[in-house]
């Protein structure tokens, strides 16, 4: 059929024409899409993902983290936003990780499609691990607020930065300080029991402690793991009672920590010391206020603000004026957001790659932690370190290192 | 490790946890014994009851133990209405339909609770929650002792109702011979609903006894129901005495396996028991041979 050929030609022409038109269209479209970047220079908001487990098993910590992040964003916006971007305001996109890694991943996907420039938060190690990995697929800068397991920064992810200290540093500092405190008291303690929660955080820490305690002259009598949530610590308390260790080291989240401390008090178990490493509650003003008797004399090696920094004290006042507790999640997240804002400022752009570059070369010292200026090596802030605190007379005092100390350690615990 | 200083308190703790398990199992076995259905909504109803106790405390300031007086009739009513107006009519007299209806109810209740309250774990703080009683070398929490005593009372009351009242007799008659009971003028639909109501009321009491030492979130009830199923099979399907003794036994098994295997693995013991019972005594301790 002769018409077929004509038809084919017609079709070919029309296809060519179609391609031409659509190419023009695409070019026009690109101009339209490019327009917002011109607008951004005049101060369009920079979107930041604020991701925390605000519901589920660790919801209290997540809510506190969100509180700190939002306090920083409010402060930055009130002070005129990101100056390098013409006073662009920071626009927080809130996410709830529901206390599970899957929940965290889902929020990262949502935040990525909403076009955030970076994400701050995660809190729990297991959430930080998976959420930062999900963000890495989109080269999306991820600033870990707490998440302490070492693998958060050892996976070679270019997008992931951790402001606070990891396990390795924390465990080493905690053990050095434990030895110091014990020696100052005339070495009364020789035996230890570890009670830890069984996810990445508690189990990883218990493994480290088990390896390092014997090297420092302590005998680990038993290591007990429990799930989060646990609502009955009677069996654990019984085991502690039977073994009668000199020191109990708990490593778990807030609810379980409080319950363990209260159950020990109830069962009248008084070791020479309760020395927690990242104990979820023992550096928390909430715990101290709610259960002063159970909290008294508990020592903790944990994230803590620089008590000599006026900015930290002002923030404490501001948070307490809102009727909230000034817990470590608050000042860690506050500092992380300031750190990110500084990077955006120096990057002079909301572009993800440029922010990552600026983060990697960050020397930020406007935060409230006793870390000094930031310096990231493979995503880990080198100056980050924990301090030792103790609950004394319904307040939390820093007992080590000496440069920040506000009180002397009371050890062993006086017999009531 | 095997010193009596640990074992004795651990067994006592187990008995007390077991008492609450028994109460949950009692409701389940009662419904099975009469209606011959497995109520998959049992866990969701327990969760709903826990939330009711929580809200009664939060909004009305009701102590959980006082809330028993209000919530038990309320949940009896809810159970009665569910069987009479939802499960009964939707089942069209087919057992497998009832299974699906209760399963559907469980999904609906759980998700409504999840929607209303989100995934948060909530607890209530009571001044006496950490008071203790000492028995020998064991230090026991007061709320757990109260729970244990409460379960004993409820079991006794249930037994008296089943033995002495006309309704109790009617329930037993329907359980034994449905058609015969119907022919003697017993309203079977009514008795079914009463039984379902009694089972649900048991959950309300269990929730009131639990919350002082436990938490509530939208899936809190499930942990108990898996265990309650094990207890019902262990004690014999439909046997009240079996549920009580099975519950106490499983409580001790859980406590001891938690002690020896660690808290994370504590529940393994329960499900090992479940498999053993199914293998060697499928009719349960007090069950009638099929």
ipTM of the complex: 0.73
Residues B141, A55: C-beta atoms closer than 8 Å: no
Quick one: A251 and A394 in the same domain? yes
Residues B10, A238: C-beta atoms closer than 8 Å: yes
Quick one: A341 and A355 in the same domain? yes
Looking at residue A146, what is its pLDDT? 93
Q: B12-30: per-residue pLDDT in tens?
A: 989 998 999 999 999 999 9
Q: What is the mean pLDDT of the segment spanning A169-191?
A: 93
Quick one: A115 and A252 in the same domain? no
Quick one: A393 and A266 in the same domain? yes
Q: B27-45: per-residue pLDDT in tens?
A: 999 998 888 888 999 999 9
Q: Give which of A238, A263, A293 to mutate to test B binding, by max B Cβ within 10 Å.
A: A238
Q: What is the mean pLDDT of the segment spanning B255-283?
A: 84
Facing residue for A225 by CB, picked from B121, B215, B263:
B263
Q: Does residue B99 lie in a domain region? A: yes
Q: Does residue A342 lie in a domain region? A: yes
Looking at residue B263, what is its pLDDT? 74
pLDDT of B90 higher than 80 = yes
Q: B92-122: per-residue pLDDT in tens?
A: 878 788 888 999 999 999 999 988 987 677 8
Q: Whose CA is closest to A335, among A358, A308, A364, A296?
A: A364
pLDDT of A113 higher than 90 = yes
Quick one: A188 and A276 in the same domain? yes
> Mean pLDDT in chain B?
88
pLDDT of B124 higher than 60 = yes
Q: Does residue A414 lie in a domain region? A: no
Q: Does residue B285 lie in a domain region? A: no
pLDDT of A39 higher than 50 = no
Quick one: A177 and A280 in the same domain? yes
As for how many domains chain B has, the answer is 1
Looking at residue B274, what is its pLDDT? 85
Of the ranges A32-36, A76-80, B277-281, which is most confident? A76-80
Quick one: A201 and A179 in the same domain? yes
Q: Does residue A274 lie in a domain region? A: yes
Looking at residue B196, what is its pLDDT? 95
Quick one: A244 and A377 in the same domain? no
pLDDT of A85 higher than 70 = yes
Looking at residue B288, what is its pLDDT? 64
pLDDT bucket at B290, cuts 50 / 70 / 90: very low
Looking at residue A35, what is its pLDDT? 45
As for how many domains chain A has, the answer is 2
Q: Which chain A residues are closer than 8 Å to B147 by Cβ?
A: none
Q: Does residue A2 lie in a domain region? A: no
Facing residue for B3 by CB, picked from A226, A242, A262:
A242
> Mean pLDDT in chain A?
87
Quick one: A392 and A353 in the same domain? no
> Looking at residue A220, which CATH number applies to its domain?
3.40.50.2300
The first and second tokens of residue B53, run together, are 């106790």
Range of the domain at B118: 27-225
Quick one: A182 and A319 in the same domain? no
Q: Does residue B190 lie in a domain region? A: yes
Quick one: A290 and A179 in the same domain? yes
pLDDT of A40 higher than 60 = no
Residue with tokens 């949940």: B75
Q: Does residue B231 lie in a domain region? A: no
Q: Does residue B257 lie in a domain region? A: no
Q: Does residue A352 lie in a domain region? A: yes
Facing residue for B5 by CB, picked from A57, A59, A242:
A242
Q: Does residue A143 lie in a domain region? A: yes
- Provide the greatest CA pair distance for chain B: 62
Looking at residue A9, what is its pLDDT? 46
pLDDT bucket at A33, cuts 50 / 70 / 90: very low
Looking at residue A235, what is its pLDDT? 86
pLDDT higher at B264 or A224: A224
Q: What is the mean pLDDT of the segment spanning A234-247?
A: 90
Q: Does residue A33 lie in a domain region? A: no
Q: Which chain A residues are closer than 8 Å to B132 by Cβ?
A: 266-267
Range of the domain at A92: 46-165+308-384
Q: What is the mean pLDDT of the segment spanning A109-132?
A: 96
From the number of C-beta atoms within 10 Å of its C-beta (0-12, 13-18, 19+), residue A93 rates as: middle
pLDDT of B167 higher than 50 = yes
pLDDT of A51 higher than 80 = yes
> Out of A63-77, A92-106, B61-75, B252-266, which region has the weakest mean confidence (pLDDT)?
B252-266
Query: What global pTM score does this model have?
Result: 0.75
Looking at residue B134, what is its pLDDT? 84
Looking at residue A41, what is its pLDDT? 46
Q: DSSP secondary structure string, chain B?
A: ---HHHHHHHHHHHHHHHHHHHHHHHHHHHHHHHH----TTHHHHHHHHHHHHHHHHHHH---HHHHHHHHHHHHHHHHHHIIIIIIHHHHTT-HHHHHHHHHHHHHHHHHHHHHHHTT--B----TTTT-EEEETTEEEEHHHHHHHHHHHHHHHHHHHHHHHSHHHHHHHHHHH-HHHHHHTT--HHHHHHHHHHHHHHHHHHHHHHHGGGS-B-TTHHHHHHHHHHHHHHHH-TT-HHHHHHHHHHHHHHHHHHHHHH-GGGTTHHHHHHHHHHHHH-TT-SSPPP-
Quick one: A70 and A218 in the same domain? no
Q: Which chain B residues are closer than 8 Å to A265 by Cβ?
A: 130
Q: Does residue A87 lie in a domain region? A: yes
Judging by DSSP bridges, how do beta strands A247-251 and A273-277 pair with one another?
parallel
Looking at residue A266, what is its pLDDT? 84
């Amino acid at each position: 059929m002769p018409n077929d050929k004509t038809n084919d030609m017609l079709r070919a022409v029309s296809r060519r024409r179609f391609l031409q038109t659509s190419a023009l269209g695409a070019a026009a479209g690109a101009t339209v899409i490019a327009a917002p970047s011109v607008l951004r220079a005049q101060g369009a908001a920079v979107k930041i993902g604020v991701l925390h487990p605000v519901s589920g098993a660790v919801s209290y910590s997540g809510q506190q983290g969100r509180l700190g992040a939002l306090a920083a964003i409010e402060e930055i916006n009130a002070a005129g936003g990101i100056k390098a971007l013409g006073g662009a305001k920071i626009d927080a996109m809130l996410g709830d990780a529901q206390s599970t890694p899957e929940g965290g991943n889902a929020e990262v996907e949502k935040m990525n499609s909403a076009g955030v420039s970076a994400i701050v938060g995660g809190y729990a190690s297991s959430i930080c691990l998976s959420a930062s990995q999900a963000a890495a697929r989109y080269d999306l800068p991820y600033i870990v607020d707490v998440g302490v397991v070492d693998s958060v920064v050892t996976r070679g992810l270019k997008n992931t930065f951790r402001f606070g200290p990891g396990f390795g540093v924390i465990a080493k500092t905690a053990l050095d300080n434990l030895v110091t405190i014990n020696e100052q008291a005339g070495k009364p303690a020789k035996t230890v029991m570890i009670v830890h929660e069984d996810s990445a955080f508690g189990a990883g820490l218990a493994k480290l402690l088990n390896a390092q305690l014997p090297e420092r002259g302590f005998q680990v009598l038993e290591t007990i793991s429990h799930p989060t949530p646990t609502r009955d610590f009677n069996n654990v308390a019984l085991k502690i009672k039977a073994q009668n260790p000199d020191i109990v080291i708990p490593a778990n989240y807030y609810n379980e920590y409080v319950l363990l401390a209260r159950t020990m008090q109830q069962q009248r178990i008084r070791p020479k010391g309760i020395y927690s490493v990242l104990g979820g509650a023992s550096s928390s003003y909430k715990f101290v206020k709610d259960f002063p008797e159970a909290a008294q004399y508990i020592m903790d090696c944990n994230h803590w603000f620089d008590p000599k920094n006026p900015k930290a004290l002002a923030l404490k006042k501001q948070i307490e004026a809102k009727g909230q507790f000034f817990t470590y999640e608050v000042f860690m997240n506050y500092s992380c957001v300031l750190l990110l804002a500084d990077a955006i400022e120096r990057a002079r752009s909301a572009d993800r790659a440029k922010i990552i570059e600026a983060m990697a070369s960050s020397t930020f010292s406007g935060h409230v932690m006793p870390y000094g200026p930031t310096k990231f090596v493979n995503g880990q802030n080198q100056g980050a370190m924990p301090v030792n605190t103790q609950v004394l007379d319904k307040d939390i005092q820093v007992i080590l290192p000496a440069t920040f100390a506000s009180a002397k350690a009371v050890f062993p615990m006086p017999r009531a | 490790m095997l010193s009596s200083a640990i074992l004795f308190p651990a067994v006592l703790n187990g008995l007390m946890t077991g008492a609450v398990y028994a109460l949950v199992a009692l409701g389940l076995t009662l419904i099975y014994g009469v209606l011959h259905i497995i109520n998959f909504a049992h866990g969701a109803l327990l969760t709903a009851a826990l939330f009711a106790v929580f809200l009664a405390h939060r909004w009305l300031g009701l102590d959980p133990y006082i809330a028993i007086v209000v919530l038990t009739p309320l949940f009896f009513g809810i159970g009665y209405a569910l069987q009479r107006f939802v499960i009964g009519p939707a089942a069209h007299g087919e057992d497998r339909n009832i299974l699906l209806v209760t399963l559907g109810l469980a999904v609906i209740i759980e998700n409504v609770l999840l929607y209303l309250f989100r995934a948060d774990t909530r607890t209530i703080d009571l001044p006496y929650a950490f008071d203790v009683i000492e028995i020998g070398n064991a230090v026991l929490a007061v709320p757990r002792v109260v729970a244990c005593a409460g379960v004993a009372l409820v079991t006794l009351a249930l037994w008296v109702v089943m033995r002495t009242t006309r309704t109790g007799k009617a329930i037993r008659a329907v359980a034994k011979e449905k058609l015969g009971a119907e022919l003697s003028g017993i309203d079977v639909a009514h008795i079914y609903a009463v039984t379902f109501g009694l089972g649900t009321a048991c959950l309300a009491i269990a929730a009131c006894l639990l919350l002082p030492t436990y938490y509530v979130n939208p899936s809190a009830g499930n942990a108990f129901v898996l265990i309650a199923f094990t207890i019902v099979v262990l004690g014999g399907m439909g046997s009240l005495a079996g549920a009580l003794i099975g519950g106490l036994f499983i409580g001790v098994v859980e406590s001891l396996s938690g002690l020896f295997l660690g808290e994370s693995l504590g529940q393994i013991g329960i499900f090992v028991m479940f498999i053993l019972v199914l293998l060697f005594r499928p009719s349960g301790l007090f069950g009638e041979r099929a």
